[in-house]
Structure 1
Amino acid sequence: MKTVLARPAARSGPSASVYRWIRQVHLWIGAWGALAAILYGFTGLVMNHRFGDGAWPQGDSAERGRVTLAVPADARDAPEALAAWLAAEHGLAPQVIRTSKPEGGRVGGKAVDQPPRWTLGGGTASRSWSLEYVPGNATAELKQTTHSPLAALNRLHKGVGGGAVWILLADSFAIAMLLLGVSGIWMWARGRTPRQMALSVLALSVLVLAAVLGPALA
């Protein structure tokens, strides 16, 4: 007589439904963020080795030229006024506006006060511009720069030159990676005992991360 072993019944109920739902979310988010993971992983690896004797190539940036612009009186009062004039007159919409306080310096052993400066910048990841202006002056200097593909990718990694659309897209990729991590840990830990968790590669990664981050953040 042939004996047939009964197969254990598949898990059912709320727990199984939650698992299937999280697994589907994990898969779809992974598909959405796969290219982003490759892009950010590649540029992060490159930028992580930008210092030292064995530094990796970071791409090239070349200055295209400098132009002196005459600044009208009504654009000299505030950085916002200067930015509005640049956008209206020259089609340059600033993405970054920085102001510096007056600084002191020394010339021939004598203290010399340095005026404040406004720095406005914008452009794309591959073609950027920056404007240096001393408040009250009648002119400002505009510098234009081109960036190689690798340098442009590094700029995008840092959120520079992509514009508002890239920032939104990068935010979605960042949220996707967070959800991937949380859902991946949840699915991996499901069904494991605390002892198995304590002796797992996940626990090892937590210990290594703490050992590295602790001194760095101290």
Structure 2
Amino acid sequence: MRSMNTPTPSSAAVAVHAAKPRRWAGFNRPRFLQALRKFHGWIGLWGALLGLLFGTSGILLNHRAVMKIPAVRMQESSVQLPLPAPAPSDADALAVWLQQQLGIERPANRVREEPARPVAWGDKTLQQPARWQVSFNALRYSVQAEYWLGSGMVSVKRSDGNFFALLINLHKGNGLGVAWVLLADTLAGSIVLLSLTGVLLWTGLQRRRVVGALIFGASLGATILTVGPSI
């Protein structure tokens, strides 16, 4: 007859299970997942407006050559301006003069000087004069100026775009300052956070799914590092 004090196998297993230390002591998985789900939603809300903007303009940029979408329209005009006397001494002075002459609010975004150089012309070599280039970029228009040293005239071309051209300029950041660049960076950061939190929500912090996600991510990263340089 079995003694009443002898523990049965089931009671012994229960005792051993109770004696084992709990993993993630103090960690409440349901509460963490609930908070993570809320964080995921707020990040998605933050990036929704900018995501719509960059998504629409990204489609237009992706179809510039292949399966072209004729949404962006530019109206171009050009003019030849005589230089004052005395003429600007360098490209920076030319940019300041053009800004005043054309009534442009912002200074030039790009000023470039190309020195004079020999150019092959058939069986001869000709000396090409120095060239100055000045660019003014804004959301709705762009102005490009070109001057060949010694010509006495500067060629100016202006391009005015429609609403879709405005979207493209917003996507590229043309005519915008550091604040817009940093704001666009927050969208990129929100996409990264949405990806990470989305994976965590999918796994539900279950061991098998977490391990599977890590293996998949490591395999994908190794494939990109291996195949990427050869593409």
Extract unaligned runs of 5+ from structure 1: 1-10
CA contact (8 A) 1:73 1:138 kept: no
The percentage of counterpart residues that share the same residue type is 28
Question: What residue number does 1:159 align with?
Answer: 173
Question: What residue number does 1:56 align with?
Answer: 69
1:20-35 aligned within 5 A: 23-35=37-49
TM-score (norm 2): 0.66
TM-score (norm 1): 0.69
How far apart, in 2, do the equivalents of 1:181 and 1:107 lie?
Answer: 56
Cα RMSD for the two superposed structures = 3.9
Q: Shift of residue 174 of structure 1?
A: 3.1
Partner of 1:113, secondary structure, is: strand
Partner of 1:161, secondary structure, is: coil
Stretch moving more, 110-119 or 132-141: 132-141
Question: What residue number does 1:132 align with?
Answer: 146
1:13-24 aligned within 5 A: 13=26, 23-24=37-38
Partner of 2:143, secondary structure, is: strand
> Is 1:85–2:97 an aligned residue pair?
yes
Q: Summarize the Cα distance change of 1:44–1:216 in structure 2 as closer, same or farther, 3 Å threshold.
A: farther
CA contact (8 A) 2:78 2:155 kept: no
Say which one has the larger Rg.
Answer: 2
How far apart, in 1, do the equivalents of 2:177 and 2:50 lie?
Answer: 17
Q: Shift of residue 145 of structure 1?
A: 0.9
What letter matches 2:94 in structure 1? L
Q: Shift of residue 140 of structure 1?
A: 1.8
How far apart, in 1, do the equivalents of 2:222 and 2:69 lie?
Answer: 24
Deviations 1:42-83 (A, max 9, x none): 22122223224x333351222123242425547322x33333
Q: Shift of residue 114 of structure 1?
A: 2.4
Corresponding pairs, count: 205
How far apart, in 2, do the equivalents of 1:22 and 1:83 lie?
Answer: 52
